[in-house]
Amino acid sequence: PAATAPGDASFAEVAAPAGKKEKATNGERKKGGEGKKDKAAGEKKPAAAAATDSGDPVPSMIDLRVGKIVHVEKHPDADGLYVEQIDIGEPEGPRTVVSGLVNYIPIEQMKDRTLIAVCNLKPANMRGVKSFAMVLCATHKDGKEHGIEIVNPPEGSKPGDRVYFEGERFAGAQPLSQLNPKKKIFETIQPGFTTLESRECAWVDPVTKSVHRIVSERGACAAPSFIGASLS
């Protein structure tokens, strides 16, 4: 998968988020992704429930938001890593994010890219640069040597838009402020992430086999071309 172990520089996305954010450079605070609001994803989120990490890990514990890359450059000390400034609609400005995507996605395709960010992993130090979020990517079903794609949010998405999992149990749940690394919540949930025949992203419950699409109020998130991909 693109990143099976958050925080490991060898994976395509690098761990991230909640907490202190690094200051962005001048010119990196521009907003983006303006567009006409699409039709809602089918079901509206009910009132948020209190977040707790007690009990078994569930996907709604993960904080997913729309982000936009406002600046990207190669990591000064790691050939396979990008250092991005990603606007996720926070008043503090963009978050610094390190992603191992150099060998899979050209830097030109990273610039001004709208994406989905995992925002509540524990911040990770990546070759001297602290990363405060993780870019959600789809890895080809036959392995990363066949390609990695950045997951697209619905058309018209804007930085800060909340992304959640369909289903009454998950849609109204509030994500945790930060995932506890000792409980391996993301690692437990991640094997259920996939892309459907429609290329839409979803989580499949390993017990009930129920399918829960990853959506916002604007529609479903999707991989550009991969079917049956893993997400991380």
Dist. CA 213–CA 17, nearest whole Å = 23
Average per-residue pLDDT in the chain?
A: 85
Which of 82, 81, 100 lies closest to 3, judged by CA?
A: 100
Which of 87, 59, 66 lies closest to 176, judged by CA?
A: 59
Q: Which two tokens stand for residue 46?
A: 């009910």
With a pLDDT cut of 70, the percent of the chain lying above it is 77
59-231: CATH architecture? Beta Barrel (2.40)
Q: Per 3-state DSSP, what percentage of the chain is helix, strand, and coil (rounded to 5)? A: 10, 30, 60
pLDDT for the residue 56: 87
* 8 Å CB contact between 218 and 155: yes
* 8 Å CB contact between 93 and 129: no
Segment 2-17 shows an average pLDDT of 39
Quickly state the pLDDT bin for 26 (edges 50, 70, 90): very low
What's the pTM value of the predicted model, to 2 decimals? 0.79
- Show me where the domains of the chain are located: 59-231
Higher pLDDT among residues 140 and 37, named by residue: 140
Segment 181-207 shows an average pLDDT of 97
Dist. CA 60–CA 162, nearest whole Å = 12
Q: What is the dihedral of CA 119, 220, 209, 177, to 10 degrees?
A: 20
Higher pLDDT among residues 153 and 56, named by residue: 153
pLDDT exceeds 70 at position 47: no
Helix (H) / strand (E) containing 158: none
| Angle (nearest 5°) at CA 144 between 170 and 152 | 45
pLDDT per position as a tens digit, 94-123: 999 999 999 999 999 999 999 999 999 999
pLDDT per position as a tens digit, 55-79: 789 999 999 999 999 999 999 999 9
Q: Are strands 95-99 and 82-87 parallel, antiparallel or unpaired?
A: antiparallel
SS3 state of residue 151: coil
pLDDT per position as a tens digit, 170-193: 988 999 999 999 999 999 999 999
